[in-house]
């Protein structure tokens, strides 16, 4: 997880790390330090945000 981009901040303050397909092998096979260098925000200009009125999670009811 990384800090959310400004466009997603109103949804959540964190977002998953999104890897470019060229980085998959590095993520899976490189040293931990090299793989962690890929942990960064995905470029904003490559994100598409489609908002809906549907919640993305179900709130749990309070237990008595």
Question: Residue written as tokens 């919640």?
Answer: 55
**Phi, psi (deg, nearest 5) at residue 2:** -135, 170
Q: What is the pLDDT of residue 63?
A: 66
User: What pLDDT is attached to residue 64?
Assistant: 57
Say what the pLDDT of residue 52 is.
83
C-alpha distance from residue 50 to each of 30, 41, 54 (Å): 34, 18, 11
The confidence score (pLDDT) of residue 23 equals 95
Q: Name the residue with tokens 């092998």.
A: 25
- 17-55 pLDDT, tens digit per residue, is 999 999 999 999 999 999 999 999 888 888 887 878 887
pTM above 0.75, yes or no: no
């Amino acid at each position: 997880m990384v800090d959310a981009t400004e466009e997603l901040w109103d949804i959540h303050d964190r977002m998953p790390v999104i890897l470019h397909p060229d980085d998959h092998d590095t993520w899976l096979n490189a040293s931990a330090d090299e793989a962690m260098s890929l942990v960064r925000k995905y470029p904003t200009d490559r994100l598409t945000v489609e908002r809906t009125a549907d919640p993305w999670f179900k709130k749990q009811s309070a237990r008595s």
